[in-house]
Amino acid sequence: MGTARLYAAVAGSGFRRYATYRIATAAGVFTNTVFGLILAYLFIALWDSKPHLGGYDQAQALTYVWVSQGLLMVVAMMGGGFEDELIERIRTGDIAIDLYRPADLQMWWLAQDMGRALFHLLGRGVVPLLFGALVFDLALPSDPLTWLAFLVAVALGVAVGFSIRFLVALSAFWLLDGAGVAQLTSIAGIFCSGMLLPLNVFPGTLGEVVRALPWSSLIQAPVDVLLGTADPLGTYAVQAAWAAGLLAAGRLVQSVATRRVVVQGG
């Protein structure tokens, strides 16, 4: 089997695996919709008292709410992706089996995570956005090319999200229990991805810092491409640079960690 076909099959299995949990998916859609509603009314109040806050008008701010609720699970910045399983495999030593496989560890999990992300985009992304579009006035683009540009930004965001969580998981080689690092990273992710509040709204230096961090690639960047408030090519360049840098870092840590396994195994 060719390498591309192997990883396509792994991505397919990642997709099917999450597609099995139908009730959980429906429950998740319900949760995203409830939180979307709360945030939408909050944002209406905010933008009522300060129109054009963060450079968005009210319809754009509401679009931000519903698109970001749809993307939460896709980019998995709160956890819930592959990392728990990888941490567990490192802790129990099963990782040794994975390393014997004729597939690269990082690529394997990246393919799996891409499959998961695609499922969550369809399973948990579409319905909250449709609900939001029915209940509120959103600023959704009519040009299919803009949607395509958005999907590219989402894919790059997933790659950045994956590479962060891959580094988190590898920390288990040294810490054995990766829970603390995973928790800290998810806190940083919630705050710095723009999930609580668009990063454009963060004031002053704090705003500049959070917009420069890799987490801005996860939600803020794709939403801005969809809203037309950011240049797609420039956005891709930043996202791709983060993805490439963090994936390379993951590869480096992986090779160091792999040598550790051999030492431990005698």
Partner 1 sequence: MDFEPFERLGAYERLRDGLRAYRLITAMWVRSTMAYRASFAMTALGNFAATALDFVAILLMFSRVDRLGGYSLPEVALLYGVSGVAFGFADLALGSMDRLGRRVRDGTLDTLLVRPVPVLAQVAADRFALRRLGRITQGLLVLGYALAVLDIHWTPLKVLMMPVMLLSGAAIFSAVFVAGGAFQFVAQDASEVQNSFTYGGNTLLQYPPTVFAKDMLRGVTFVLPLAFVNWLPALYVLGRPYPLDLPTWVAFASPVVAALCCALAGLAWRAGLRAYRSTGS
- Contact positions vs partner 1 (CB under 8 A): 21, 23-24, 26-28, 30-31, 34-35, 37-38, 41-42, 44-46, 49-50, 53, 177, 179-180, 183-184, 186-187, 190-191, 196-197, 201-203, 206
Look up residue 218 and give its two tokens: 């996860």
d(CA 254, CA 266): 19
Q: Which is nearer to partner 1, 78 or 151 (CB)?
A: 78
Smallest gap from residue 175 Cβ to partner 1 (A)? 11
Smallest gap from residue 44 Cβ to partner 1 (A)? 8
d(CA 150, CA 64): 13
Smallest gap from residue 91 Cβ to partner 1 (A)? 14
Q: Report whether 76 contacts 115 (CB < 8 A).
A: no
Q: Report whether 69 contacts 36 (CB < 8 A).
A: yes
Q: Which is nearer to partner 1, 35 or 108 (CB)?
A: 35
Q: In sequence order, what are the residues at sequence separation of 6 or more whose Cβ sits closer than 8 angstroms to the Cβ of residue 17?
A: 115, 116
Look up residue 163 and give its two tokens: 């590479």
Q: In sequence order, what are the residues at sequence separation of 6 or more whose Cβ sits closer than 8 angstroms to the Cβ of residue 263?
A: none
Task: Decide: helix, strand or coil at residue 152.
Answer: helix
Q: Which is nearer to partner 1, 42 or 237 (CB)?
A: 42
Smallest gap from residue 176 Cβ to partner 1 (A)? 11
Q: Which is nearer to partner 1, 163 or 186 (CB)?
A: 186
Smallest gap from residue 265 Cβ to partner 1 (A)? 26
- Measured in whole angstroms, the distance separating CA 127 from the mean position of its chain's CA atoms is 18
Q: Is the dihedral of CA 55, 74, 250, 88 positive or negative?
A: positive
Q: Which is nearer to partner 1, 128 or 232 (CB)?
A: 128
Q: Which is nearer to partner 1, 179 or 248 (CB)?
A: 179
Smallest gap from residue 124 Cβ to partner 1 (A)? 10
